[in-house]
Chains A and B, each alone.
Chain A
Amino acid sequence: MLTKTIYPIIQHRELIWEMALRDLKAMNKGAFLGYLWLVISPLVQVAAYVLIVSFVFKSRLGEGTGPLDYALYVLSGMIPWQIMARSVQEAPSLIRERMELVKQVIYPIETLPLTSLIVSSFGSLVSFGLFLILTLVVGSFHWTFFLLPILFLLLAVFVLGISWIFSIVGVLIKDLREIVTVLLGLLIYLSPVVVSREMVGEKIWGYILWNPLSHVVICFRDVFEARFHLSSWAIYAAISLLAFLAGDWVITRTKLLINEYI
């Protein structure tokens, strides 16, 4: 069943990449700082959290930790979250915004989420590289770092599946984009991106674990801290595969039909 989605992706890998470069170029034409904004904006957001939590609320991660530890903590959670959130937010308008393209050209719409994933993770990946260097310099190197590619692959699989569904539903329901934006804006506070177990206490932490997206963040943190929350890894893998299979089911059935509604 997957041949109808995976094969086109492999076949059109050059197109996916070049279209991502095109979108990046188009976004930055005429801006003085250009690509730098893609790196600056996620870093500024992390800085804002650190300022508010560490200096305004004087909250600490645990005994004997300082603002720098908290900054690294937020950064390690924020980067995967932003990659995911930005791609999922873009998903409802993927096809809608490319109406002319999809209507007039034989374009493989199943590749659109990947192009969008590359575009939205570009800046975050750069900050991720910065973060890795920082941890290598400050902290110690863990063999678990080699598991990162698996986590990114799962993230791509998850985002791809969700985006396929949202890009199709977004054609029919224009409000989806706003709904997703609002939900993700709230969900970040119901996840361990900016808070830790020690900061919120057991009761609220229990609620946080009900949010499937929390486990994505927990898994990424595990890698840096050389720990394993096995249940989180299982949930992360499960929701990724589930999203992918559901998305695959939707896109193979609707990718031609959707042209009638555009």
Chain B
Amino acid sequence: MREVPIRLAHVSKRFKLYRDPISGPVKEYLFFWKRHHYYQEIMAVKDVSLEVKRGEVVGIIGPNGAGKTTLLKMIAGLLPVDGGQIEVHGKITALLALGVGVHPEFTGRENILYGGMLLGMSKAEVVRKMPAIIEFAELGDYINRPFRTYSSGMRARLLFAISMSIDPDILIVDEALATGDVYFVQKSSRRIRELCNSGATILFVSHNLSQVQEICQRALFMAEGRIVGEGRPSEMIAAYSHWAFERERRAPIITEHQDLRMLSGSGEVQITAIRLINAQGEETTGFYAGEDMEIEIHYRSALGDQAVLDLFLGFVLASNSTYVGEINTVNYVENLGGTTKRSPLAIKREGVIRLKLEPLLLFNEHYALWIILFDYATGKHYCEYRNLSPFFVGGRRQSISRGGFFWHPSKIMTG
């Protein structure tokens, strides 16, 4: 067997984007002398060269649309190559999606047989592996019932068990892993490690960065059709999150058009604007993890000059509003000794509340603010806002924890 089973030299791929997706491809061939009228060309993969050694596990990471899947499909022989050369030596199996060819009326057993054959195994091979697959999927008596009666977890387990039963020379995996409950995910990654140790060459595309870190020896970072980085997985993951962050930072700021409708409250105090400011004093929506961040809350009050109130500022994930952490003036941490006490803010008719986070302890994710202004002493509830001021945190460091934690802001001032 060759020492370098996969070799790519200056591979590129053009895609045709048809102006009319239905008649475009037909017209292209009917009126071939003016075929370029009907589509635009897009370079999905540009000049990629790569060598994968035998037994190596290589991860490919990068944003959506970077050309990762296209590259895998070309290596698997599912798409023609437009430029350059691909050499592949050995039996290749592609896991690009789970559940291809599954029929809902077939029993688990039947689906294992046909699913296995579609992955390139012979009938004898599937029959021989059948007991192991059934055991791996842990379906019990359900193995003889139709697939449509399965719960989604059972479905995932069966499909994964089928996929994992192959022992190829070369395995190409696209996002198909890590389904099911925690126990099953662990079992699956054990099986993947087993495959790695068996000497199979594996190419692995994933958005699950910790999985890439865990099982890959080498990682490629692709963006806009090119390989922009190659090296140890931890380095490439850091490069990717930095790249993602820079892209976010370049995105236009949209704080002007924020939705400042109150969710609840009396409305005696209202927020008029929110500004997020980075360490350089610029207004932005992209921050480095560990950088200083200042939040300016502009308010208008009908309470008079001598009023005091409490602030609750929560951080939530922008995607699903999961609570991650908070700052409030009721349990305000006084010092490192850990005693807390209420420190209400004195406010005027109009002004700004400034919070300084030194440093910002959030990681690689989109966040939004959840703000409540209230009076702890009287229990009066002035206003509440959700999903305010979305922002993105990225950086050179890798994500450490996603649990909630309290900050120790050095200053909360009013003015």
- State the A residues within 8 Å of B (CB): 14-15, 18-19, 22, 25-26, 29-30, 100-101, 103-107, 172-174, 256-257, 259-261
Please report B residues at the A interface, Cβ cutoff 8 Å.
Answer: 15-16, 22, 25-26, 29, 73, 76-80, 92-94, 96-97, 100-101, 103, 105-106, 110, 113-114, 117-120, 122-123
Provide the residues of chain B in CB contact with A100, threshold 8 Å: 97, 100-101
Give chain A residues whose Cβ lies under 8 Å from the Cβ of B120: 105-106
Whether the pair A173, B26 counts as a contact (CB closer than 8 A) is yes
Q: Are A256 and B106 in contact (CB under 8 A)?
A: no
| A to B CB contacts below 8 Å, 21 in the list | A14-B122, A19-B114, A19-B117, A22-B103, A22-B110, A26-B103, A29-B105, A29-B106, A100-B100, A101-B101, A104-B78, A104-B97, A105-B96, A105-B118, A105-B120, A106-B93, A172-B26, A174-B22, A260-B15, A260-B16, A261-B25
Knowing A100-B100, A173-B26, A259-B78 are in contact, say whether A105-B123 is a contact too (CB < 8 A). Answer: no
Question: Given A29-B106, A106-B76, A260-B16, does the pair A101, B114 have CB atoms closer than 8 Å?
Answer: no
Which partner residue on chain A sits nearest B146 by CB separation?
A29
Q: Quick check: B122 and A103 within 8 Å, CB to CB?
A: no
A259 to B92, CA, bound (A): 18
Q: Which residues of B contact A105 (CB under 8 A)?
A: 94, 96, 100-101, 118-120
A22/B114 contact (C-beta < 8 A), A106-B92, A106-B120 known: yes
Pairs of residues from A and B, 5 with the lowest C-beta to C-beta distance, nearest first: A29-B105, A104-B96, A104-B97, A256-B80, A104-B100
A101 contacts B77, CB within 8 Å? no
Complexed CA–CA distance, A100 and B80 (Å): 17
Return the contact of A25 from the options B73, B78, B110 (Cβ within 8 A).
B110
Q: Which residues of B contact A107 (CB under 8 A)?
A: 118
How many angstroms from the CA of A45 to the CA of B316 in the assembled complex? 67
> Is there an interface contact between A25 and B79, defined as CB atoms closer than 8 Å?
no
Residue from B16, B77, B122, B123 in contact with A106 in the complex, judged by beta carbons closer than 8 Å: B77
- Interfacial chain B residues near A18, Cβ < 8 Å: 113-114, 117, 123
Q: Which residues of A contact B119 (CB under 8 A)?
A: 105
Minimum Cβ distance to chain B for residue A190 (Å): 28
B-chain residues with CB within 8 Å of residue A22 when the two chains form the complex: 103, 110, 114
Question: Complex Cα distance A159/B367, Å?
Answer: 60
Q: Within the complex, which residue of A15, A26, A106, A260 is in contact with B106, where a contact is CB–CB below 8 Å?
A: A26
Q: Are A259 and B79 touching (Cβ within 8 A)?
A: yes
Q: Which residues of A contact B92 (CB under 8 A)?
A: 106
Complex: A19 Cα to B114 Cα, angstroms:
8
Q: Which residues of A contact B118 (CB under 8 A)?
A: 101, 105, 107
Further contacts, 12 of them, CB under 8 A, given A18-B113, A100-B101, A173-B26 = A18-B117, A22-B103, A22-B114, A25-B110, A26-B105, A100-B97, A101-B100, A103-B96, A105-B119, A257-B80, A259-B79, A259-B80
Q: Which residues of A have CB within 8 Å of B80?
A: 256-257, 259-260
* Cβ-closest chain B residue relative to A261: B25
CA distance A261 to B29 in the complex (A): 13
Q: How far is the CA of A30 from the CA of B97 in the complex (A)?
A: 28
In the complex, chain A residues whose CB is within 8 Å of the CB of B15: 260
User: Which residues of chain B are within 8 angstroms of A257 by Cβ–Cβ distance?
Assistant: 80
Q: Say yes or no: A172 contacts B105, CB within 8 Å.
A: no
Which residues of B lie under 8 Å from residue A260 when comparing CB positions? Answer: 15-16, 79-80
Most central of A14, A22, A259 by chain B CB within 10 Å:
A22
Name the distance in Å between B146's Cβ and chain A's nearest Cβ. 8
A25 / chain B contacts, CB cutoff of 8 Å: 106, 110
